[in-house]
């Protein structure tokens, strides 16, 4: 404490040191940055999210290391494909490149490829959020298949250039669309503090370095030889490495999201014993990176987001459903037997918790329906619908609370239902 003249205030001299929490083991990224401390701060600001590692998912570093290597390999493959296509249309030969035919074919292959991509997006885009890992894998398969088709132009007749190059470009364009959609899903999952923009920017920095390194390696490789045999050999050597990195990335990534498979299994277990399983508890029931049910799993067949025409073929059944569920944002169909699927119609104001509640109700309803020793006719399904609804009302608050306790993200449900919604007047059918 500093002392002063009588009547003057005394001041306390404060000092501090920054203390880094080292309770846990350092990641590979941290150890790498510690090698050159003066350079580490610049690297962190350039390539790592603010607040790393506390601001991101625990598997962030492992996934992005695999992603960096995957991008590096793919960039090298792209150089080989470009060399093959350029050679197939005679770039470098004055006679072949004199006219406009080369430019026309090059532009047409891109245009035809873009059209093919549009049809693919229209058909499958709705399931990109619900099955990001599966589509990520499909995208990489599509990309490498397209690269192989483009590579084949170097050994094909000149008349085959346009169809092969266009099909290859379409497959690679599909890959870019899938990557853009699924990568955002991955990023949202990794952003524990809502720092999506920061993660996207740092991912872009990481991928830029990977692209540059891969292209430099590819350019260096083609300076050795341009022969078709050499290009195909390079492709066949790089493809298994690319697939290994992709599979390693998908196995390392963890998604605590409620998709079709997770929510179906969670509701089944809760209805059976009132417990919520964790992510690791579900692995034995899943396949394909945890986004599909394992073969032989007995689960309720539920169609979320069905149209009213599909769910209800009788006006009286629809009226009964509206009467029983007049306070809900969903309606359940009443099947003839437990072997038929339960259809869920969602109201236009339905939110994520309404979908979860409808799934839990449908699972309980099917459980009560299956408990009958005989098939239940539609007109007799009123009692199971009412009793299962009452059971759902009693258990739903606890169900949501335990989902959150088990770290499941209950604020969104990725079902891929196509966005079909229905409107009905509350209280109609009383």
Residues 240, 105 share a domain:
yes
Residue 177 lies in a domain: yes
Residues 269, 218 share a domain:
no
Residue 395 lies in a domain: yes
- SS3 at position 128: coil
pLDDT tier, 4 (very low <50, low <70, confident <90, very high otherwise): low
Residues 310, 395 share a domain:
yes
**In the prediction, which pLDDT does 384 show?**
83
pTM of the model: 0.74
Residues 280, 161 share a domain:
no
Domain that holds residue 299: 258-414
Provide mean pLDDT across the span 299-306. 81
Burial class (CB in 10 A: 0-12, 13-18, 19+), 299: middle
pLDDT tier, 11 (very low <50, low <70, confident <90, very high otherwise): low
Q: With 90 as the cut, is the pLDDT of residue 213 above it?
A: yes
Residue 283 lies in a domain: yes
Radius of gyration of the chain measured on its C-alpha atoms: 29
Residue 64 lies in a domain: yes
Residue 108 lies in a domain: yes
CB atoms within 10 A of CB 4: 10
Residues 320, 236 share a domain:
no
Cα(238)–Cα(255) distance, integer angstroms = 29
Cα(388)–Cα(414) distance, integer angstroms = 24
Considering the chain, what percentage of its residues have pLDDT values greater than 70? 80
For 109-156, the pLDDT digits (tens) are 666 667 777 777 777 777 777 788 888 999 999 999 999 998 998 888
Which of 373, 366, 321 is closest to 345 using CA atoms?
321
Residues 302, 248 share a domain:
no
Whether the CA torsion 208, 214, 216, 219 is positive or negative: it is: negative
The phi-psi region of residue 149 (left if phi > 0; otherwise alpha if psi is between -120 and 50; otherwise beta) is alpha
Residues 246, 192 share a domain:
yes
Q: Which residue has the tokens 């290009």?
A: 231
Residues 202, 121 share a domain:
yes
Residue 51 lies in a domain: no
Residues 316, 247 share a domain:
no
Residues 384, 292 share a domain:
yes
- Domain with 188 in it: what CATH number? 1.20.1250
pLDDT tier, 376 (very low <50, low <70, confident <90, very high otherwise): very low
Residues 277, 234 share a domain:
no
Residue 48 lies in a domain: no
Residue 116 lies in a domain: yes
Count of domains for the chain: 2
Cα(336)–Cα(85) distance, integer angstroms = 59
């Amino acid at each position: 404490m500093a002392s002063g003249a009588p009547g003057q205030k005394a001041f306390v001299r404060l000092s501090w040191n920054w203390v880094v929490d080292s309770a846990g083991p350092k990641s590979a990224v941290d150890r790498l940055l510690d090698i050159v401390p003066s350079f580490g701060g610049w690297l962190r600001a350039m390539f790592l999210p603010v607040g790393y590692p506390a601001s991101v998912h625990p598997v962030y570093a492992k996934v992005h290391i695999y992603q960096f290597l995957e991008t590096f390999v793919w960039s090298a493959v792209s150089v080989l494909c470009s060399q093959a296509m350029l050679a197939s249309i005679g770039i470098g030969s004055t006679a072949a490149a004199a006219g406009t035919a080369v430019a026309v074919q090059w532009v047409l292959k891109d245009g035809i490829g873009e059209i093919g991509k549009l049809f693919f997006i229209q058909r499958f885009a709705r399931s990109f959020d619900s099955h990001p890992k599966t589509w990520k894998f499909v995208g990489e398969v599509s990309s490498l298949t397209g690269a192989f088709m483009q590579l084949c132009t170097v050994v094909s007749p000149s008349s085959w250039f346009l169809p092969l190059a266009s099909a290859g470009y379409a497959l690679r364009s599909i890959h870019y669309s899938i990557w853009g959609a699924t990568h955002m899903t991955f990023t949202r999952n990794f952003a524990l503090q809502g720092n999506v923009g920061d993660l996207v920017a740092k991912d872009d920095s990481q991928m830029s370095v990977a692209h540059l390194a891969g292209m430099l390696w590819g350019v260096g490789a083609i300076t050795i030889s341009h022969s078709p045999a050499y290009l195909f050999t390079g492709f066949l050597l790089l493809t298994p490495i690319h697939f290994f990195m992709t599979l390693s990335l998908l196995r390392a990534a963890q998604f605590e999201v409620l998709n079709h498979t997770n929510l179906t299994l969670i509701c089944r277990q809760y209805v059976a014993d009132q417990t919520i399983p964790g992510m690791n508890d579900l692995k034995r029931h899943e396949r394909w990176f945890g986004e599909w049910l394992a073969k032989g799993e007995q689960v309720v067949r539920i169609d979320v987001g069905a149209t009213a025409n599909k769910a209800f073929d009788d006006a009286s059944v629809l009226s009964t459903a509206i009467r029983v569920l007049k306070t809900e944002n969903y309606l359940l169909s009443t099947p003839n037997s437990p072997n038929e699927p339960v259809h869920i119609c969602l109201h236009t104001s339905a939110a994520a918790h309404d979908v979860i509640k409808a799934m839990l109700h449908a699972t309980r309803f099917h459980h009560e329906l299956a408990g009958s020793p005989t098939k239940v006719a539609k007109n007799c399904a009123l009692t199971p619908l009412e009793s299962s609804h009452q059971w759902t009302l009693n258990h739903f608050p606890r169900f949501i609370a335990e989902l959150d306790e088990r770290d499941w993200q209950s604020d969104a449900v990725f079902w891929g239902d196509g966005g079909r919604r229905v409107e009905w007047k509350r209280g109609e059918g009383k």
